[in-house]
Amino acid sequence: MKIIADGFLTTLTPETVPRALGLGFISMIATGWTSVSLIICVQLACEDRNIGLATLLCGCARAIGGSVVVTIYSSLLTNKIADDSGPRVAKVVVPLGFKIPLLPKLIGYLSHGDVRHAAALPGATPGIIEVAAKALQWSWSEAFKLVYISATVFAGLSLAAALFVQDVSHNMTDNVAVRLANEKERVNTVDA
């Protein structure tokens, strides 16, 4: 489900916001399901005395992996925006008479949502601001497409790794290895 949702996220554009919300929801549900399933499988696959250590190592691996992935995603976004936004905005505003030396300021202002300062630039008309803002939306769309492609690849690698996980169904019982000091043992009414 995660791989499919992430794959479909690569088709998003600035005009497909409702679809983005739906696909994002499905993708995050799948992420949560995978995270909880991983913890359960790790705890069921180890000996009872090692549950704490196994859970700790699982959490550490997830945190380290998350940090690496956030760094990769940030680099993809930053580099794509840096490479794509200038030419894309120039393509739509220069024919309308906007001066090339002012492009970095226009892009900077609009990237930070500062329409007031962008509109105060010499030669900036409401039409120029509108087409430049739309061009930036498309740049961000292209940048996020790279993120979604890499997320799909990571999800695929996770699925491939999951194929090698041992079967833990034999450990899925009602047995409670350790009880709390104040917990009373439950009477099994089925056997009684």
Q: CA nearest 173: which of 188, 163, 159, 161? A: 188
Distance between CA atoms of 20 and 23, rounded to whole angstroms? Answer: 5
| pLDDT at residue number 19 | 92
| pLDDT at residue number 158 | 85
Instruction: For Cα atoms 155, 160, 161, give the angle at the middle one, nearest 5 degrees.
Output: 95
| pLDDT at residue number 185 | 67
| pLDDT at residue number 75 | 96
| pLDDT at residue number 48 | 80
| pLDDT at residue number 42 | 85
| pLDDT at residue number 176 | 67
| pLDDT at residue number 76 | 95
Can you list the residues of the chain whose pLDDT is less than 50?
none
